[in-house]
Structure 1
Amino acid sequence: MTHPVLDDLQRRMSNTRKEIEAEMEAQLAEQRERFRYTLHRGKVRFERDMRALQRRYRVGLLKYVSRARLGYVLSAPIIYGLIVPLAFLDLSVTIYQHVCFRIYGIPLVRRGDHVVVDRHHLAYLNGLEKLNCVYCGYANGVISFVREVAGRTEQFWCPIKHARRNAGPHDHAHRFFDFGDAEAYRSGLADLRKDWNA
Protein backbone atom coordinates (compact mmCIF):
# COMPACT_ATOMS: atom_id res chain seq x y z
CA MET A 1 0.00 0.00 0.00
CA THR A 2 1.37 3.42 -0.88
CA HIS A 3 1.26 6.43 1.39
CA PRO A 4 1.07 9.58 -0.76
CA VAL A 5 2.25 11.95 1.99
CA LEU A 6 5.14 9.73 3.03
CA ASP A 7 6.04 8.97 -0.58
CA ASP A 8 6.11 12.70 -1.35
CA LEU A 9 8.25 13.41 1.71
CA GLN A 10 10.65 10.59 0.75
CA ARG A 11 10.93 11.98 -2.79
CA ARG A 12 11.60 15.47 -1.47
CA MET A 13 14.08 14.10 1.05
CA SER A 14 15.88 12.24 -1.75
CA ASN A 15 16.04 15.45 -3.81
CA THR A 16 17.29 17.37 -0.77
CA ARG A 17 19.96 14.72 -0.20
CA LYS A 18 21.10 15.16 -3.81
CA GLU A 19 21.22 18.94 -3.35
CA ILE A 20 23.26 18.50 -0.16
CA GLU A 21 25.69 16.18 -1.96
CA ALA A 22 26.08 18.68 -4.81
CA GLU A 23 26.69 21.50 -2.31
CA MET A 24 29.22 19.38 -0.44
CA GLU A 25 31.06 18.68 -3.70
CA ALA A 26 31.12 22.41 -4.44
CA GLN A 27 32.49 23.10 -0.94
CA LEU A 28 35.18 20.46 -1.42
CA ALA A 29 36.21 22.10 -4.70
CA GLU A 30 36.37 25.47 -2.94
CA GLN A 31 38.37 23.90 -0.12
CA ARG A 32 40.87 22.37 -2.58
CA GLU A 33 41.37 25.78 -4.15
CA ARG A 34 41.62 27.66 -0.85
CA PHE A 35 44.11 25.27 0.76
CA ARG A 36 45.88 24.54 -2.55
CA TYR A 37 45.77 20.78 -2.86
CA THR A 38 44.79 18.33 -5.55
CA LEU A 39 43.68 14.72 -5.57
CA HIS A 40 45.71 12.44 -7.82
CA ARG A 41 44.56 8.80 -7.92
CA GLY A 42 43.01 9.24 -4.49
CA LYS A 43 46.16 10.77 -2.98
CA VAL A 44 46.29 14.30 -1.63
CA ARG A 45 49.01 16.59 -2.99
CA PHE A 46 49.53 19.95 -1.29
CA GLU A 47 51.54 22.73 -2.89
CA ARG A 48 54.98 22.99 -1.32
CA ASP A 49 54.42 26.37 0.38
CA MET A 50 51.11 25.18 1.87
CA ARG A 51 52.82 22.15 3.42
CA ALA A 52 55.44 24.47 4.92
CA LEU A 53 52.71 26.70 6.36
CA GLN A 54 50.94 23.68 7.85
CA ARG A 55 54.14 22.42 9.49
CA ARG A 56 54.37 25.64 11.48
CA TYR A 57 51.16 24.65 13.28
CA ARG A 58 52.30 21.15 14.21
CA VAL A 59 52.59 20.45 17.94
CA GLY A 60 55.53 18.15 18.66
CA LEU A 61 54.76 14.64 19.85
CA LEU A 62 56.43 15.01 23.27
CA LYS A 63 54.64 18.30 23.94
CA TYR A 64 51.35 16.82 22.72
CA VAL A 65 51.59 13.76 24.98
CA SER A 66 52.86 15.68 28.02
CA ARG A 67 49.86 18.06 27.84
CA ALA A 68 47.32 15.25 27.44
CA ARG A 69 44.87 14.56 30.24
CA LEU A 70 45.62 11.40 32.18
CA GLY A 71 42.16 9.98 31.39
CA TYR A 72 42.85 10.35 27.67
CA VAL A 73 46.10 8.43 27.96
CA LEU A 74 44.57 5.69 30.13
CA SER A 75 41.58 5.21 27.81
CA ALA A 76 43.75 4.83 24.68
CA PRO A 77 44.14 1.03 25.02
CA ILE A 78 40.35 0.67 25.21
CA ILE A 79 39.86 2.73 22.05
CA TYR A 80 42.65 1.04 20.11
CA GLY A 81 41.64 -2.40 21.41
CA LEU A 82 38.61 -2.18 19.12
CA ILE A 83 40.85 -2.47 16.06
CA VAL A 84 40.78 -6.27 16.30
CA PRO A 85 36.97 -6.68 16.19
CA LEU A 86 36.71 -3.87 13.59
CA ALA A 87 39.26 -5.53 11.31
CA PHE A 88 37.55 -8.90 11.78
CA LEU A 89 34.17 -7.32 10.99
CA ASP A 90 35.64 -5.62 7.91
CA LEU A 91 37.13 -8.87 6.63
CA SER A 92 34.02 -10.92 7.42
CA VAL A 93 31.60 -8.52 5.73
CA THR A 94 33.89 -8.15 2.71
CA ILE A 95 33.99 -11.92 2.23
CA TYR A 96 30.25 -12.19 2.92
CA GLN A 97 29.28 -9.66 0.27
CA HIS A 98 31.69 -11.03 -2.33
CA VAL A 99 30.22 -14.50 -1.95
CA CYS A 100 26.55 -13.91 -1.11
CA PHE A 101 25.82 -10.75 -3.09
CA ARG A 102 27.07 -12.44 -6.25
CA ILE A 103 24.74 -15.38 -5.58
CA TYR A 104 21.75 -13.12 -4.82
CA GLY A 105 22.41 -10.64 -7.64
CA ILE A 106 22.83 -7.71 -5.25
CA PRO A 107 25.25 -5.02 -6.47
CA LEU A 108 28.48 -5.01 -4.46
CA VAL A 109 29.09 -2.12 -2.07
CA ARG A 110 32.25 -0.21 -2.98
CA ARG A 111 34.23 -0.30 0.25
CA GLY A 112 36.33 2.67 -0.88
CA ASP A 113 33.22 4.86 -0.96
CA HIS A 114 32.92 4.34 2.80
CA VAL A 115 36.43 3.82 4.17
CA VAL A 116 38.27 7.09 3.54
CA VAL A 117 41.71 7.49 5.07
CA ASP A 118 43.36 10.74 4.00
CA ARG A 119 43.91 13.02 7.00
CA HIS A 120 47.43 11.65 7.54
CA HIS A 121 48.48 13.93 4.64
CA LEU A 122 48.00 17.00 6.83
CA ALA A 123 51.39 18.42 7.81
CA TYR A 124 50.00 20.22 10.89
CA LEU A 125 49.28 16.89 12.59
CA ASN A 126 51.99 15.07 14.52
CA GLY A 127 52.48 11.31 14.23
CA LEU A 128 50.06 10.41 17.03
CA GLU A 129 47.35 12.74 15.71
CA LYS A 130 47.79 11.20 12.26
CA LEU A 131 47.46 7.71 13.74
CA ASN A 132 44.28 8.78 15.55
CA CYS A 133 42.86 10.21 12.32
CA VAL A 134 43.69 7.06 10.36
CA TYR A 135 42.01 4.98 13.05
CA CYS A 136 38.85 7.12 13.14
CA GLY A 137 38.59 7.24 9.35
CA TYR A 138 38.95 3.47 9.19
CA ALA A 139 36.57 2.71 12.08
CA ASN A 140 33.78 5.01 10.91
CA GLY A 141 34.28 3.89 7.32
CA VAL A 142 33.97 0.22 8.25
CA ILE A 143 30.77 0.92 10.20
CA SER A 144 29.35 2.84 7.21
CA PHE A 145 30.37 0.03 4.83
CA VAL A 146 28.84 -2.65 7.06
CA ARG A 147 25.63 -0.65 7.42
CA GLU A 148 25.23 -0.41 3.64
CA VAL A 149 25.91 -4.14 3.18
CA ALA A 150 23.40 -4.92 5.94
CA GLY A 151 20.84 -2.53 4.41
CA ARG A 152 21.09 -4.19 1.01
CA THR A 153 20.86 -7.61 2.64
CA GLU A 154 17.73 -6.53 4.51
CA GLN A 155 16.20 -5.17 1.29
CA PHE A 156 16.74 -8.55 -0.34
CA TRP A 157 15.66 -10.88 2.48
CA CYS A 158 13.28 -9.02 4.78
CA PRO A 159 12.16 -5.64 3.41
CA ILE A 160 9.40 -5.08 5.95
CA LYS A 161 9.13 -1.94 8.03
CA HIS A 162 9.18 -2.42 11.79
CA ALA A 163 6.06 -2.02 13.90
CA ARG A 164 7.67 0.89 15.72
CA ARG A 165 10.04 3.56 14.51
CA ASN A 166 13.74 3.07 15.05
CA ALA A 167 16.31 5.82 15.35
CA GLY A 168 18.26 6.36 12.14
CA PRO A 169 17.05 3.75 9.67
CA HIS A 170 19.34 3.03 6.71
CA ASP A 171 18.69 4.50 3.27
CA HIS A 172 16.82 1.45 1.96
CA ALA A 173 14.25 1.19 4.77
CA HIS A 174 11.76 3.74 3.42
CA ARG A 175 11.08 1.47 0.45
CA PHE A 176 10.18 -1.53 2.58
CA PHE A 177 6.68 -2.95 2.83
CA ASP A 178 4.38 -1.86 5.63
CA PHE A 179 4.38 -4.00 8.74
CA GLY A 180 1.47 -6.40 8.36
CA ASP A 181 0.88 -5.86 4.61
CA ALA A 182 1.16 -9.50 3.51
CA GLU A 183 -0.32 -8.86 0.07
CA ALA A 184 2.19 -6.12 -0.85
CA TYR A 185 5.08 -8.21 0.50
CA ARG A 186 4.17 -11.29 -1.54
CA SER A 187 3.33 -9.39 -4.70
CA GLY A 188 6.24 -6.91 -4.60
CA LEU A 189 9.17 -8.82 -3.11
CA ALA A 190 10.57 -10.09 -6.42
CA ASP A 191 10.56 -6.58 -7.92
CA LEU A 192 12.15 -4.96 -4.87
CA ARG A 193 14.93 -7.56 -4.92
CA LYS A 194 15.90 -6.27 -8.38
CA ASP A 195 15.49 -2.53 -7.79
CA TRP A 196 18.73 -1.01 -6.46
CA ASN A 197 18.25 2.48 -7.92
CA ALA A 198 16.77 4.22 -4.90
Structure 2
Amino acid sequence: MKLHIKNMVCNRCKMVVKAELEKLGFKPLLVELGEVTLADNISADDKSKISENLIHFGFELLEDKKTQIAEQIKTTIINLVHYTNEQLKINLSAYLSEQLKLEYTNLSSIFSEIENQTIEKYFIAQKIEKAKEMLTYGELTLSEIAYQLNYSSVAHLSAQFKKVTGITPSVYKAASADRRKMLDEI
Protein backbone atom coordinates (compact mmCIF):
# COMPACT_ATOMS: atom_id res chain seq x y z
CA MET A 1 0.00 0.00 0.00
CA LYS A 2 1.25 3.48 -0.86
CA LEU A 3 0.96 6.50 1.39
CA HIS A 4 1.56 10.00 0.06
CA ILE A 5 3.12 12.35 2.58
CA LYS A 6 3.44 16.11 2.33
CA ASN A 7 6.60 18.02 3.35
CA MET A 8 9.13 15.22 2.89
CA VAL A 9 11.94 17.21 1.30
CA CYS A 10 15.22 15.61 2.38
CA ASN A 11 16.92 12.40 3.42
CA ARG A 12 16.38 13.23 7.11
CA CYS A 13 12.66 13.43 6.42
CA LYS A 14 12.80 9.92 4.97
CA MET A 15 14.63 8.65 8.05
CA VAL A 16 12.14 10.26 10.46
CA VAL A 17 9.10 8.92 8.58
CA LYS A 18 10.58 5.42 8.37
CA ALA A 19 11.49 5.40 12.08
CA GLU A 20 8.05 6.64 13.12
CA LEU A 21 6.26 4.06 10.99
CA GLU A 22 8.42 1.28 12.42
CA LYS A 23 7.79 2.59 15.94
CA LEU A 24 4.05 2.26 15.25
CA GLY A 25 4.57 -1.34 14.08
CA PHE A 26 4.33 -0.86 10.31
CA LYS A 27 6.76 -2.29 7.80
CA PRO A 28 7.80 0.27 5.19
CA LEU A 29 9.19 -1.50 2.14
CA LEU A 30 10.29 1.71 0.45
CA VAL A 31 10.52 5.28 1.72
CA GLU A 32 11.01 7.96 -0.91
CA LEU A 33 10.48 11.71 -0.84
CA GLY A 34 6.73 12.18 -0.57
CA GLU A 35 5.83 8.51 -0.75
CA VAL A 36 5.98 5.38 1.41
CA THR A 37 5.21 1.84 0.30
CA LEU A 38 4.01 -0.40 3.12
CA ALA A 39 4.13 -4.19 3.08
CA ASP A 40 0.42 -4.54 3.90
CA ASN A 41 -2.82 -2.63 3.45
CA ILE A 42 -3.85 -0.63 6.48
CA SER A 43 -7.17 0.33 8.03
CA ALA A 44 -8.64 3.80 8.35
CA ASP A 45 -7.77 3.69 12.06
CA ASP A 46 -4.15 2.87 11.22
CA LYS A 47 -4.04 5.77 8.76
CA SER A 48 -5.39 8.04 11.46
CA LYS A 49 -2.68 6.87 13.91
CA ILE A 50 0.02 7.45 11.31
CA SER A 51 -1.38 10.87 10.48
CA GLU A 52 -1.53 11.92 14.15
CA ASN A 53 2.03 10.73 14.71
CA LEU A 54 3.57 12.34 11.61
CA ILE A 55 1.85 15.71 12.10
CA HIS A 56 4.12 16.33 15.11
CA PHE A 57 7.08 16.29 12.72
CA GLY A 58 5.46 18.60 10.18
CA PHE A 59 4.29 15.87 7.80
CA GLU A 60 0.79 15.34 6.49
CA LEU A 61 -0.89 12.33 4.86
CA LEU A 62 -2.41 13.24 1.51
CA GLU A 63 -5.68 11.60 0.50
CA ASP A 64 -6.81 13.80 -2.39
CA LYS A 65 -5.46 12.72 -5.80
CA LYS A 66 -4.85 16.26 -7.05
CA THR A 67 -2.98 17.18 -3.88
CA GLN A 68 -0.89 14.02 -4.27
CA ILE A 69 0.02 14.97 -7.84
CA ALA A 70 0.95 18.52 -6.82
CA GLU A 71 3.16 17.12 -4.07
CA GLN A 72 4.78 14.68 -6.53
CA ILE A 73 5.57 17.61 -8.84
CA LYS A 74 7.18 19.50 -5.97
CA THR A 75 9.16 16.46 -4.88
CA THR A 76 10.36 15.81 -8.44
CA ILE A 77 11.51 19.42 -8.80
CA ILE A 78 13.23 19.40 -5.40
CA ASN A 79 15.06 16.19 -6.35
CA LEU A 80 16.07 17.66 -9.70
CA VAL A 81 17.34 20.98 -8.34
CA HIS A 82 18.81 20.00 -4.97
CA TYR A 83 19.83 16.35 -5.14
CA THR A 84 21.18 15.70 -8.62
CA ASN A 85 24.75 16.56 -9.45
CA GLU A 86 23.97 17.12 -13.10
CA GLN A 87 23.45 20.51 -14.66
CA LEU A 88 19.80 21.45 -15.13
CA LYS A 89 19.89 21.29 -18.93
CA ILE A 90 16.49 19.73 -19.39
CA ASN A 91 13.09 20.62 -20.72
CA LEU A 92 11.13 20.81 -17.45
CA SER A 93 7.74 20.03 -18.98
CA ALA A 94 9.06 16.94 -20.77
CA TYR A 95 10.96 15.85 -17.68
CA LEU A 96 7.91 16.13 -15.40
CA SER A 97 5.67 14.37 -17.92
CA GLU A 98 8.16 11.52 -18.21
CA GLN A 99 8.68 11.20 -14.45
CA LEU A 100 5.01 11.39 -13.46
CA LYS A 101 3.51 9.68 -16.54
CA LEU A 102 0.97 12.46 -17.14
CA GLU A 103 0.58 15.13 -19.81
CA TYR A 104 2.21 18.40 -18.84
CA THR A 105 -0.99 20.40 -19.45
CA ASN A 106 -2.74 18.28 -16.80
CA LEU A 107 0.19 18.59 -14.40
CA SER A 108 0.33 22.35 -14.89
CA SER A 109 -3.40 22.78 -14.36
CA ILE A 110 -3.47 20.66 -11.19
CA PHE A 111 -0.36 22.34 -9.75
CA SER A 112 -1.69 25.84 -10.35
CA GLU A 113 -5.05 24.93 -8.81
CA ILE A 114 -3.55 23.36 -5.67
CA GLU A 115 -0.49 25.57 -5.12
CA ASN A 116 -1.80 28.91 -6.48
CA GLN A 117 1.38 29.36 -8.51
CA THR A 118 2.79 27.99 -11.74
CA ILE A 119 5.21 25.10 -11.97
CA GLU A 120 7.71 27.46 -13.59
CA LYS A 121 7.56 29.91 -10.66
CA TYR A 122 8.08 27.05 -8.23
CA PHE A 123 11.01 25.74 -10.28
CA ILE A 124 12.61 29.20 -10.34
CA ALA A 125 12.13 29.55 -6.57
CA GLN A 126 13.89 26.22 -6.04
CA LYS A 127 16.74 27.24 -8.33
CA ILE A 128 17.15 30.50 -6.43
CA GLU A 129 17.28 28.60 -3.11
CA LYS A 130 19.97 26.37 -4.61
CA ALA A 131 21.85 29.48 -5.76
CA LYS A 132 21.60 30.87 -2.21
CA GLU A 133 23.03 27.63 -0.85
CA MET A 134 25.90 27.75 -3.34
CA LEU A 135 26.57 31.42 -2.54
CA THR A 136 26.55 30.70 1.19
CA TYR A 137 29.16 27.95 0.83
CA GLY A 138 31.29 30.29 -1.30
CA GLU A 139 32.99 27.50 -3.23
CA LEU A 140 31.77 28.55 -6.69
CA THR A 141 31.84 31.79 -8.61
CA LEU A 142 28.61 33.38 -9.79
CA SER A 143 29.48 32.27 -13.33
CA GLU A 144 29.87 28.66 -12.19
CA ILE A 145 26.57 28.82 -10.28
CA ALA A 146 24.77 30.26 -13.31
CA TYR A 147 26.23 27.48 -15.47
CA GLN A 148 25.29 24.70 -13.03
CA LEU A 149 21.73 26.00 -12.70
CA ASN A 150 21.43 26.33 -16.50
CA TYR A 151 21.08 30.10 -16.69
CA SER A 152 22.04 31.61 -20.03
CA SER A 153 24.23 34.18 -18.29
CA VAL A 154 25.19 35.64 -14.93
CA ALA A 155 22.95 38.59 -15.80
CA HIS A 156 19.95 36.25 -16.21
CA LEU A 157 20.64 34.57 -12.86
CA SER A 158 21.13 37.94 -11.17
CA ALA A 159 17.88 39.31 -12.61
CA GLN A 160 15.86 36.29 -11.44
CA PHE A 161 17.62 36.28 -8.08
CA LYS A 162 16.75 39.95 -7.52
CA LYS A 163 13.16 39.42 -8.70
CA VAL A 164 12.65 36.58 -6.18
CA THR A 165 14.67 37.87 -3.22
CA GLY A 166 14.71 41.63 -3.72
CA ILE A 167 18.53 41.76 -3.65
CA THR A 168 21.34 40.83 -6.01
CA PRO A 169 23.45 37.70 -5.52
CA SER A 170 26.46 39.89 -4.69
CA VAL A 171 24.56 41.68 -1.92
CA TYR A 172 23.26 38.33 -0.64
CA LYS A 173 26.77 36.87 -0.56
CA ALA A 174 28.12 39.94 1.25
CA ALA A 175 25.38 39.82 3.90
CA SER A 176 26.28 37.75 6.93
CA ALA A 177 22.70 36.73 7.75
CA ASP A 178 21.51 33.42 6.36
CA ARG A 179 18.43 34.22 4.32
CA ARG A 180 17.77 30.69 3.12
CA LYS A 181 14.36 29.07 3.50
CA MET A 182 13.47 25.51 4.33
CA LEU A 183 12.57 23.65 1.12
CA ASP A 184 9.02 22.98 2.27
CA GLU A 185 8.48 26.71 2.93
CA ILE A 186 9.01 27.70 -0.71
TM-score (norm 2): 0.24
What TM-score, normalized by structure 1, do the two folds share? 0.23
Determine which structure has the larger strand proportion and give its number.
2
